[in-house]
Amino acid sequence: GVLRDGDINILLKWAGDNGLKVNPDETTYDPNAINLIAANDFLDAPNKYITGYTEKRKMVVNGKTTGRDTTVAVDGVATWTPGDVNISVKKGGLVTIANTKQYASQMPNQTIAIKKWAYDHRTDIENMIIALAQAGDQVRSYNDAREFAAKVSAEVYQEQDAAYWLKYYNGVEEKDIQGLKVTLGGSAVFNLSDMANTYGLGADRVDRYKAVYNTFGNLMVKMYPTLMPSFMPYEKAVDKSFLLSVISNHPELLEGKAIETNYANEITAEVSSKSYSIEFETGSATIKPSSYKLLNEIFESAVVAEGLKLGVYGHTDNVGSDLTNIPLSEQRANAVKNYLLKKGMKETRVETKGFGAAKPIASNNTGTGRSQNRRVEIVLGE
């Protein structure tokens, strides 16, 4: 994929949500990690996958050289339409691990500008926001607008024609070259209500872009400390005054309905699962203040993946009986849920379960093992 770009960041987020190791050095190969191969752009990435691109690398284990070389090949790709379509037509066997419909908040609608220029041309910036908001409503509502947008896409991307982009804007299910059914394409456009929701100016006051900015900023610092030792604080990087002005002066543009995810009643297909050690008062479901920071991180992480339902599953060790452990694990899962709801998460998005000691991840014969089994599992799925 294109390293440090949005597509590959979805992969990194998915890996983190599953507790999977990623090798940040694209010049070496770690057999115990996900390894990255750099692509020039979003079309080069699928092309490397289709053609069976390989390269030689030094083998490392946990960052230490082994003195051996190996040849690595591309067995997965981070891309977007038309990359997914190219794979379907030319290679097939496409299996989607994670996508931007699931990690929906990672794809904001924003304008990046030089600060002085933006302040000197405030009316121009606000008119652009108005035009984007109106265009979003038009594309959602009218086929003529979608056809025009498809024509513009073909001209801008210099790829395929308008009919192609219109087809894959809606998303389709079709057979790939191997005869397997795959879902391809699927796009979203923002109106003013969506913009307000993205920047914490909607009814729930959840600043989705702040969650995205901090989540991926911290991720890049962790993976590439030399390239990016730090990043600008969100409040300094983002100026909401332009959007606030449009919202205040054009309330009629808020009449368009915002994108809303309809969550399943229960998770039946897991996308990610990760266990957390959240501290509670002994024998109770009262969360210790020392765990608030971790819960805030869980909330921000979940906001990035707003297209997925969130499962909060409580687990205990085997000390005591099921009569006490199962209710306690349920109560603790609900305590975490209530914390997330107070932060602004929708109740329909969260499900809770308590398993007591039924699903240990370590031996209950040692203190260390019992400590690992006393956990809250956060699952994202559909």
- Domains, the chain, ordered by start: 6-79 (no CATH), 104-255 (no CATH), 270-381 (3.30.1330.60)
Rounded percentage of the chain residues whose pLDDT exceeds 70: 99
Name the residue with higher pLDDT: 112 or 269.
269
**Confidence band of 112 (pLDDT split at 50, 70, 90):** confident
What is the arithmetic mean of pLDDT over 278-291? 92
d(CA 256, CA 161): 29
Task: Quick: pLDDT tens for 289-313.
Answer: 999 999 999 999 999 999 999 999 9
**Confidence band of 27 (pLDDT split at 50, 70, 90):** very high
Q: What's the pLDDT at 108?
A: 66
**Confidence band of 22 (pLDDT split at 50, 70, 90):** very high
Task: Quick: pLDDT tens for 50-84.
Answer: 999 999 999 999 889 999 999 999 999 998 889 99
For 83-102, b where at least 16 C-beta lie within 10 A, e where not — what string?
A: bbbbbbeebeebeeebbbbb
Q: What's the pLDDT at 212?
A: 93
Average pLDDT, the chain: 94
- Pull the structure tokens for residue 315: 């687990």
Q: What's the pLDDT at 109?
A: 67
In sequence order, which residues have a C-beta less than 8 Å from that of residue 45 and are 6 or more positions away? 1, 2, 7, 39, 77, 78, 79, 83
Phi, psi of 255 (to 5 degrees): -70, -25
**Confidence band of 197 (pLDDT split at 50, 70, 90):** very high
Residue found under tokens 């379960």: 353
pLDDT at residue 230 greater than cutoff 70: yes
Radius of gyration of the chain (CA): 23
Parallel/antiparallel/unpaired status of strands 22-23 and 34-35: parallel
Cis peptide before 229 (omega within 30 of 0): no
What is the arithmetic mean of pLDDT over 19-24? 94
